[in-house]
Structure 1
Amino acid sequence: MQYPVPSDTNWSVLPAIGIVGMRNVRISADRHPCGSELADVIDRFWTVRWKVPPGEQGSAVFIGHPETNLVLGSGRVSAYGVQRKRLTVRFSGTGSAFGMAFRPGAALGLLGGTAVQYTDRSRPLAESWGTAEVRRFEEALRAATDTGSRIAVVERHVRARLRMSHGEERDQGLSRVEEIVDMMRDEQSITRVSEVCRHSHLSTRSLQRLFRHYLGISPKWLLRQYRLQTAAARLAAGLPQRWTEIAVDLGYFDESHFARDFTQIVGVTPSSYARNRVRASTAAATAERAA
């Protein structure tokens, strides 16, 4: 699936990779769900391609998902933990990056340690796997000529690391946190941590410990992130709703609290976001007719 955006788009949504805004850059993203027996470890593979006018600079604003990624960029593989704040990435020229997103919490089986060690930061994969093994991994990825070949390389190395770390045994705590994360994502009626505790039969402290170890974030942060991503999707879809209705649907006390959180995470107010989304849609339609 591709998500092309015209180069003159200021604010748009590429929800598959968490992009909520772009300036002076054309970006497309391909996603490939894991179709092997590793689907309980790997959520998806992705490729991002960008193009910036010669001699200029572009940027894109990302908001975080509760996942760790392995990213091949500039010939090196690094592990990127959950980014709790919006992240502005600068682009120039033409290029691409290939990566793999773990299922929530599943990265620890390959990286070791706890998820909080990766929160808001990236670390070279060699710190976890060792220099010699990562060098072979990177060489194989660079030699791969297409996405399918890269996916095969990643899956081969992930299988080997899983056999080395814990064989076929699956961490029961990981299974539990995956269930809770899926529930928080899919059940729009759950808007408070106390409700998560009630549905999962865990105390607040136990839930917080579970999230810190496997995800490196708090349950409260994740709930807010899912709510605001839902809000951004509604605004991007152009649904004729009042801000008050959206705020209430997502569990906010009032419209002002919703607007404050949205602005803090996305970087613009809901009203500005909606207006710019209309402009982006118009520009995209114009570009498609011109093509």
Structure 2
Amino acid sequence: MDSSFKGILYPTRLPSFGRFPAPPQVHHLVSWFWIPEWDIAPGRSSRQHLIAFAACNLVVQHDGVELSGPTTRASHQDLSGKGWAVGALLRPAAVPSFTSRPADLRDGRLMIDAPDLLAHVVEVMGKETTARGAEAAAVFAAWLLERVPQVGQEALLANAMAESISNNPDLVRIADVAQQLSVSTRTLQRLAVKYVGLSPSALIRRRRLQEAANQVRTHPGLELAALATQFGYADQAHLANDFQRFLGFTPSSYQKSLTAPL
């Protein structure tokens, strides 16, 4: 599945968005870097609706660096004026270097003291070149490698847990994930809380919702009953209940909104 915009509910409304792969040397710390840029007319704003990935993001903007914690529901970001952000979707292994309790950051943010990272990224993003996004990602990667030079085996196991859940749609129960990683469900629960800040079941649910929403967006004529079956829901009603509870809307209303005029 093309996941370039997975997690973004209305990608056609993005002013500009780039995603850059993490260099091999920081692949254990970052899933990828993401860079939106915008220039909104005076007096107007652009609201970006998200089903964020179940992870922490480290984000640099012109006025500071912040750690954005894992979210428990759909969210939005209002853009106005002219600006940019350079974000790193952190893998679980990187999280303890910035917070010892990611669960305390659910749906929240924490300012990070990183003046050197801020200065270097601001300098790069101020350049009038088409390659500045890739350069900013490289600067960010080098800084992370200095900040988090080594991670332990437990942290790497947390990475494996998150990757298994994210990439394997057949894993629909916590026991399935535990069996694949040859650990107990209790170990899985502990890793998820310590390194992500959400439960394993929340990680599984987020993947299913993201993928279901992505299918609705990319296949306009899709029957919702078939979608529910595809993602392991008992029926369409259960799918709709999950959408309503965690995203604030039903699959059918989302389907209609995709073709509504801006």
% identical aligned pairs: 25
Q: Which runs of 4+ in 1 moved over 4 A?
A: none
When the two structures are aligned, how many residues end up with a matched partner?
Answer: 254
Residue 65 (1) aligns with residue 53 (2): yes
Q: Which amino acid aligns with 2:110?
A: R
Give CA-to-partner distance per residue, 1:161-219, whole Å, 9 cap, x none: 224xxxx4x31112212222222222222222232233333333221111000110011
TM-score normalized by structure 2?
Answer: 0.86
Residue 199 of structure 2 corresponds to which residue in structure 1?
A: 218
Residue 5 of structure 2 corresponds to which residue in structure 1?
A: 15
Query: What is the DSSP-based 3-state SS (H/G/I as helix, E as strand, rest coil) of the residue aligned with 1:27?
Result: coil
Query: What is the DSSP-based 3-state SS (H/G/I as helix, E as strand, rest coil) of the residue aligned with 2:148?
Result: helix
Structure 1 position 112, deviation (Å): 4.5
**Root-mean-square deviation (Å):** 2.5
Residue 75 of structure 1 corresponds to which residue in structure 2?
A: 63
Q: Aligned partners of 1:51 and 1:205: how far apart in 2?
A: 48
Query: What is the DSSP-based 3-state SS (H/G/I as helix, E as strand, rest coil) of the residue aligned with 1:66?
Result: coil
Pick aligned residue for 1:274 from 255, 259, 262: 255
Residue 17 of structure 2 corresponds to which residue in structure 1?
A: 29
- Residues 26, 52 of structure 1: 8 Å contact kept: no
Pick aligned residue for 1:118 from 105, 119, 141: 105
- Return 5+ residue gaps in structure 2 as ranges: none
Query: What is the DSSP-based 3-state SS (H/G/I as helix, E as strand, rest coil) of the residue aligned with 1:120?
Result: coil
Q: Aligned partners of 2:94 and 2:32: how far apart in 1?
A: 13
Pick aligned residue for 2:209 from 224, 228, 231: 228
TM-score normalized by structure 1?
Answer: 0.78
Query: What is the DSSP-based 3-state SS (H/G/I as helix, E as strand, rest coil) of the residue aligned with 2:77?
Result: strand
Structure 1 position 56, deviation (Å): 2.2
Residue 259 (1) aligns with residue 246 (2): no
Structure 1 position 148, deviation (Å): 3.5
Pick aligned residue for 2:225 from 233, 236, 244: 244
Q: Aligned partners of 1:15 and 1:45: how far apart in 2?
A: 13
Q: Which amino acid aligns with 1:223?
A: I
Q: Aligned partners of 2:50 and 2:160: how far apart in 1?
A: 25
1:25-174 paired onto structure 2 within 5 Å: 26-103=14-91, 105-126=92-113, 134-144=114-124, 145=127, 146-163=132-149, 168=150, 170-174=151-155
Larger Rg: 1 or 2? 1
**Do the aligned partners of residues 242 and 155 (structure 1) sit closer, same or farther apart at CA in structure 2, a change above 3 Å counting?**
closer
Residue 289 of structure 1 corresponds to which residue in structure 2?
A: none
Residue 3 of structure 1 corresponds to which residue in structure 2?
A: none
